[in-house]
Chains A and B, each alone.
Chain A
Amino acid sequence: MRDYWLSKLFFDLQSPPLADEYRANRGAVLARYPLKPEVRAAVEADDVAALAKRVNPYLLRFYFLMAGMPEDDFLRRIRASGTSGKGKTAHG
């Protein structure tokens, strides 16, 4: 199950001007999306594991690249998350 507004936020952030605004003032952009409190908290905490449960993995990967998380850091966090609950991988 996808979280629609979280997905929409990540999708919209593919726009370079919005990504620039987000990196400069994350709160202003987040305020325009009706995120559930726990989802917004996960975004603000860069909680890869919590967000991975709610969005498409390609959008997740894009988001943290856009947000500036180093690749090694993202890999470490996503590998630690074990979020799929389906063993090694989720979607064939």
Chain B
Amino acid sequence: MAELVGVYAASHGPMIVRNWDKLAAEERNSLDTAFRELGRRITAARLDALIVISPDHWVNFFIDNLPSICVGVGEEHDGPPEPWFKAFPHRKMAGHPALAEHVVRTALERDFEPSVSYKLALDHGFCIPLWKAGIDPLPPIVPVVLNDIEPPFPSVKRCYAWGAMLAEAVAGFPGKLRVAVLATGGLSHSIGEPDMGRIDEDFDRDCIRRFENGDPPALLDFLNQRLPSAGNGASEVRNWVAAHGAARGRGFELIRYDPIPNVYVGCGFASWRLG
């Protein structure tokens, strides 16, 4: 059977790429250190497949058809289309259709109704962490698009349950695979809104403490109260909640947190305890 050998989270702010040359040296060092450690852990996990949970930043979906959750079941995925992200080295990335289809079947058996796509382009939300973490070669990727971008959003309770279902799907996959989950995005930030650039460091540190502690009900209560005022980008913490579910709420080890004004994001990196 397949084994879930890692659960991780990483921020993905576009300014990490677009504004890299204008970041202060200590900001670059901070991000490099965090991504390097994330990459070291992911590489050491010797993965056969990586499930990546990220929002779609208006690349695959629009308001004429906007799934809350979509699983990419294709044999390959397109690289990021953003014109400012041409440095990303992969125009195509391998998928893992067998695992992806198994995730979809498991989801349906567990009363989730995900959307399915055979052809996704993976935008910066997926690709900045993969690239900056230096994961080479990339393992086959099962993309999970979770709508954190356009309200209404899935509840954090449902995101946690989705993550728990992912762990169950991996455990039930009839094949010897080493699989990890990587959630991207967050922590607090605000994009295109009147508080753009605001980083809610108090929220971020509270949030991190609750992820570290495990205790899913306390975490979900906290997020239901505080997420709506931590900036629209903080909605991506839903992906972290799904990761928390995949790790059965065991709590994570913080790799690094750094609120970086020039990236507009409270940048967080974490690795869940699975033992």
Is A33's CB within 8 Å of the partner chain B? no
> Which one of A59, A83, A84 contacts B58 once the chains associate, using CB atoms below 8 Å?
A59
Interface string of B181-200 (1 = CB under 8 A from A): 00000000011111111100
Interface string of B226-266 (1 = CB under 8 A from A): 11111110110000000000000000000000000000000
**Contact status B194-A81, CB under 8 Å:** yes
> Which one of B196, B228, B231 contacts A79 once the chains associate, using CB atoms below 8 Å?
B196
Q: How far is the CB of B156 from chain A (nearest CB, A)?
A: 10
> Which one of B191, B194, B195 contacts A58 once the chains associate, using CB atoms below 8 Å?
B191
Chain A residues with CB under 8 Å of B228's CB are: 89, 91-92
Chain B residues with CB under 8 Å of A92's CB are: 226-232, 234-235
Tell me the number of A-to-B contacts counted with CB atoms below 8 Å: 85
**Contact status A14-B197, CB under 8 Å:** no
Majority DSSP secondary structure for residues of B touching A: loop
Distance in angstroms between the alpha carbons of A24 and B197 in the assembled complex: 30
**Contact status B229-A61, CB under 8 Å:** no
Is B151's CB within 8 Å of the partner chain A? yes
Interface residue tally for chain A (C-beta within 8 Å): 29
Chain B residues with CB under 8 Å of A8's CB are: 62
Interface size classification for chain B: 20 to 34
Majority DSSP secondary structure for residues of A touching B: helix
Instruction: Indicate the member of B58, B192, B229 with the most A CB atoms within 10 Å.
Output: B192
Instruction: Indicate the member of A62, A79, A87, A89 with the most B CB atoms within 10 Å.
Output: A89
A-B contact pairs, 9 of them (CB 8 A): A14-B59, A52-B193, A59-B58, A61-B196, A75-B197, A79-B196, A84-B194, A89-B230, A92-B229
Among residues of B, the one whose C-beta sits closest to the C-beta of A82 is B194
> Which one of B83, B192, B226 contacts A16 once the chains associate, using CB atoms below 8 Å?
B83
